[in-house]
Structure 1
Amino acid sequence: MSPARGQRGSRTRTAVVIGGGFAGLATAALVARDGLDVTLVEAHAELGGRAGQWHHEGFRFETGPSWFLMPEIFDRFFAQLGTSTAEQLELLPLDPAYRVFFEDDPNPFDLPADDSLQALQALETTPGRLPEYLSSAARTSRLATERLLYSSYQRPSDFLDPALLGRLPTLLRMLTEPLESFIARHTDDPRVRQILGYPAVFLGTSPRSAPSLYHLMSHLDINQQVLHPRGGFSAVVRAVASLAEGEGARLRTGCRARRITASRGRVTGVHIGRSDGRHEFLPADVVVSTADMHHTETALLPPEHRTRSARSWRHRDPGPGAVLALLGVRGALPELAHHSLFFTRDWQKGFDEISGARPAGGPPRSLYVCRPSATDDVAPPGHENLFVLVPTRADTHLGAGGVDGAGDLPVEQMVDDSIRQIADWAGIEDLASRIVVRRSIGPADFARDFGAWRGGALGPAHTLRQSAFLRGPVRSRRLKGLCYGGATTMPGIGVPMCLISAELVRSSLRGGRPARPEALTGGVHA
């Protein structure tokens, strides 16, 4: 699209993007490239949203995403801005891709960067059908990235893609069969089942609730390499922000969106509150809110302009909450890989607690631990940096975190439990005594800092009723010029999905569908 198409008459069209996370930054970059006059407003002092960072006593902790998956999505995004992933980021392959600790098993499992299938098959006591499973995951992943994910399903023709119609019976089966049972048909080994099923957590749900379509996730960490961007996701934030500014977008921090205004069924702008206490009105022909959709609908829009009723929100699944622990540790921690997963024997119990199907219990819990100091410069010499994620129910009553154990009691208790569990399972007996920096983050922090619905950490769960076109609209059905982006709408959770979300917004504003991935070769100035 040429800049001229960003104009209405002789006047350049204006756009306000709410939120400076990945979806907002990517949207600002793409829409500005199309010739719109773009202002992005971010409530916090720094850009990044959930992909934030915290500096303390020589440590640099990242507070958000840490798995770099789906590199082809990043390739496509950067290509549309006339650059490449290689020019913007330094990606480091991880070997092992990750380490898994199983309850009551003294031998952790390392998924190697190469021959991962052979390593998984070595776990099985009875040969299963893993090659078939991973081949299907690869095919489904290609279908998703080439067709499913880049459609906003706004027109009947979006449902009539020949590539989708030809696989309709298979797609219907994968949408209706749970991931858990699909995995069980391919392996009997409980450890392999957990390794194949854990990516459901990335989708904000459980293997029992996720459609088996999402077995494609195993292609991302088993068939493909797991990578780490040097500098972490903060480096990715800086790259996307720089590109957005290079396209002419103004990125304003310390500016909190207070209200989206409209007249005669069309947006007119956004009222913001600035960090200096002043208020300001930003007129706009287009408003793109990448804030949590529940926050946008209930806090920024009057009832007559909302897409969903209060009743409909009560029937939706917010996905999991999380308690995070940022730990600076004295001495080396070779017992942990860059990514380490801790799986309980009865892990369905944990998923039931997260969903609210049963009351919350105590340890042990399934955990994720990131040790970025294994790969990157994030800690003082002679120290390590740990990021611990404990999935919980999305419930702000669990409370907020704090520094040096100053958070609310339920949050700090979960951190204490997790430190003991990591020490026990990984054989690091003196872990607790070696911690020199500690900060916790709880569901109440997610609600306060990001407007997260019920304190959810990721976004609405990818259940059947909350996937694809059932997830959330890209364009408001009530208000012309208003679009939604980010993890709470299509296509879903994760940094790659937020980049796709930005393209869906751009496509919607263009009034057409995005270019197919195969049409993108090299730099593109559409």
Structure 2
Amino acid sequence: MTPQRERARVGERDVVVIGGGIGGLATSALLAREGHRVTLLEKRDQVGGRAGSWEQDGFRFDTGPSWYLMPEVIDHFFKLMGTSAAEQLDLRKLDPGYRVVFEEGFDTVDVPADREAVTKLFESMEAGAGEQLSKYLDSAEDAYEIAKKRFLYSTFQSFLPFFRPDVLKRLPRIGSLLLQPLQSFVEKRFKDPRIQQILGYPAVFLGSSPFDAPSMYHLMSHLDLDDGVLYPMGGFTTLIAAMQRVATAAGVDIRTGADVVSIDTDARTPGRSPLDRRSATVRAVTYRAAGTTTTVDADIVVSAADLHHTETTLLPADLRTYPEKYWEKRVPGPSALLLYLGVRGSLPQLEHHTLLFTTDWRDNFGRIFGRETSVPSPASLYVCRPSATDDSVAPEGHENVFVLVPIPADVTIGRGGLERGGDARVEDLADAVIGQISEWAGVPDLAERIVVRRSYGPQDFADDLNAWRGTSLGPAHILKQSAFFRGSNRSAKVDNLFYAGSSTVPGIGIPMCLISAELIVKRLRGDTSTGPLAEPATG
């Protein structure tokens, strides 16, 4: 019996995971825990992907995700690995959860950390809105629970689980939630524009607009208004470090600086089923590192890299499930202008999380997602000041400020750089954004107090992360790109080639990428259930 057949008999296989972001780290860890020999290849010098870390002059910046939502999903991943989020991270609940600054005509609003207080806040903003919010959040919680039980953890290999009584009795409501935009759903229940914006903005976390995202995603309000917002002390880099730690302990061979150039295949006779069009099977993955080309044999390949890059760059044309013509009809999520600012002195005008909302909401999103795109000016944007909670992220007497401005997915906007070293258009946008924050938040000398400045633009997302069209998140969560309409996590042309990360099911965000890793395990087990995997018993 050959070694390969022996491995197949006992279930142990050689697995190569491409991409060391959240999805790739989680996939490699879970598959190693399953007993496979796993090699993780990451193009950059550090793992984390969008959830990276950058340090300069005593400041430590999280380069991407900064909202710790769906904590039970993150904890579930660690429990599958034999530990827990509580053992790995020092989590703090933020109160207020976040601050909202409006363009004109309204006072700043601090959104508190518990439902009762939020209900009182909404009632103070609009008569009857407190009672309406209670109904809204009950609906959001129900939508979240049914999504978690039947949709988020499904590979969509079988639709039989959807004919369960709990789904069937909700079908009319589910249909309505899928067909009605989130903005319309909110407008029917609340008239105050501030409340509409607070409830509609979470669509951006899904790479979409409240005018395009299905109202099913009102479930997001359950996450921040019911559950609250947490923060891992030390920053999100501590989450990446913990994931790397458990992956390494499980036996994963992590190789950074490894730029994958091809997924190598052997010919295969397609199966008898008309659905089995796979004419090839994976054989190896080839990558370049430090000028040397290396090939790693593989029985299974999981690409957690950008799906467009995987399909159109790493595979030959005849083996692409999603060729360029597929992407021509897809809608990207937004790109972003990111700013990493080290600021001298204190900034009490900003909370840990602060949102700045423009008055003309429809125009703002229309410029980002419309047929003719442009950068909104002024823009609705997000500011994170982690030094409000965590002294370790900035030198004493200074503040750490991260800014995210959703802009069109357009690489021609350019690259960013250190200390105004980016492309002119990106730096001009950065100047405008700093000026906007200064004016709206009441920090007149903000620009003069900046001692570290780095910008990051759409071309950087494309260069560093191979991101399709320079999107900062992935394909937008509109109806035709959600659930079973999203990209499958298995190649239709190449046997034993799978996909994880934000490009595939279930979608965008740290929790979704963790679930995407779990779906790979379910695929390999032949598990068509719709719930999360059972956690190992603890002694």
**2:262, 2:285 within 8 Å by CA — same for their partners in 1?**
yes
Unmatched tracts of structure 1, length 5 or more: none
Alignment of 1:27-426 (within 5 A): 27-105=27-105, 107-114=107-114, 115-125=117-127, 127=129, 129-264=132-267, 265-274=280-289, 276-360=290-374, 363-376=377-390, 377-426=392-441
Judged with a 3 Å threshold, the aligned counterparts in structure 2 of structure 1 residues 427 and 28 are, in CA distance, closer, same or farther, namely same
Question: 1:458 is matched by which residue type in structure 2?
Answer: L
Question: 1:323 is matched by which residue type in structure 2?
Answer: L
**How far, CA to CA, are the matches of 1:173 and 1:5 in structure 2?**
50
Judged with a 3 Å threshold, the aligned counterparts in structure 2 of structure 1 residues 153 and 503 are, in CA distance, closer, same or farther, namely same
Q: Which moved more, 1:16-25 or 1:362-371?
A: 362-371
SS at match of 2:155: coil
Q: Which residue of 2 aligns with 1:16?
A: 16
**Cα offset for 1:409?**
1.3
Q: Which moved more, 1:159-168 or 1:302-311?
A: 159-168
Alignment of 1:502-517 (within 5 A): 502-513=517-528, 516-517=531-532
**How far, CA to CA, are the matches of 1:304 and 1:362 in structure 2?**
40
Q: Which residue of 2 aligns with 1:485?
A: 500
Which string of whole-angstrom CA distances, capped at 9 and with x for unpartnered residues, describes residues 78-105 of structure 1? 1111111111111001011000001113
Question: 2:80 is matched by which residue type in structure 1?
Answer: Q
Question: 1:205 is matched by which residue type in structure 2?
Answer: S
- TM-score by length of structure 2 reads 0.94
**Cα offset for 1:202?**
0.4
Q: Which moved more, 1:510-519 or 1:28-37?
A: 510-519
Q: Which residue of 2 aligns with 1:459?
A: 474
Q: Alignment RMSD, CA only?
A: 1.8
Judged with a 3 Å threshold, the aligned counterparts in structure 2 of structure 1 residues 5 and 243 are, in CA distance, closer, same or farther, namely farther
Question: 1:272 is matched by which residue type in structure 2?
Answer: Y
**Cα offset for 1:117?**
1.8
**2:335, 2:471 within 8 Å by CA — same for their partners in 1?**
yes
Judged with a 3 Å threshold, the aligned counterparts in structure 2 of structure 1 residues 492 and 515 are, in CA distance, closer, same or farther, namely closer
**Cα offset for 1:65?**
0.2
**1:476, 1:483 within 8 Å by CA — same for their partners in 2?**
yes
The question of 1:428 aligning with 2:443 is answered yes
Judged with a 3 Å threshold, the aligned counterparts in structure 2 of structure 1 residues 193 and 103 are, in CA distance, closer, same or farther, namely same
SS at match of 1:55: strand
**1:6, 1:13 within 8 Å by CA — same for their partners in 2?**
no
**Cα offset for 1:125?**
4.7
**How far, CA to CA, are the matches of 1:339 and 1:25 in structure 2?**
27
**Cα offset for 1:403?**
0.7
**1:257, 1:272 within 8 Å by CA — same for their partners in 2?**
yes
**Cα offset for 1:155?**
1.8
Unmatched tracts of structure 2, length 5 or more: 268-279
**Cα offset for 1:515?**
7.5
**1:81, 1:523 within 8 Å by CA — same for their partners in 2?**
no
**2:150, 2:162 within 8 Å by CA — same for their partners in 1?**
no
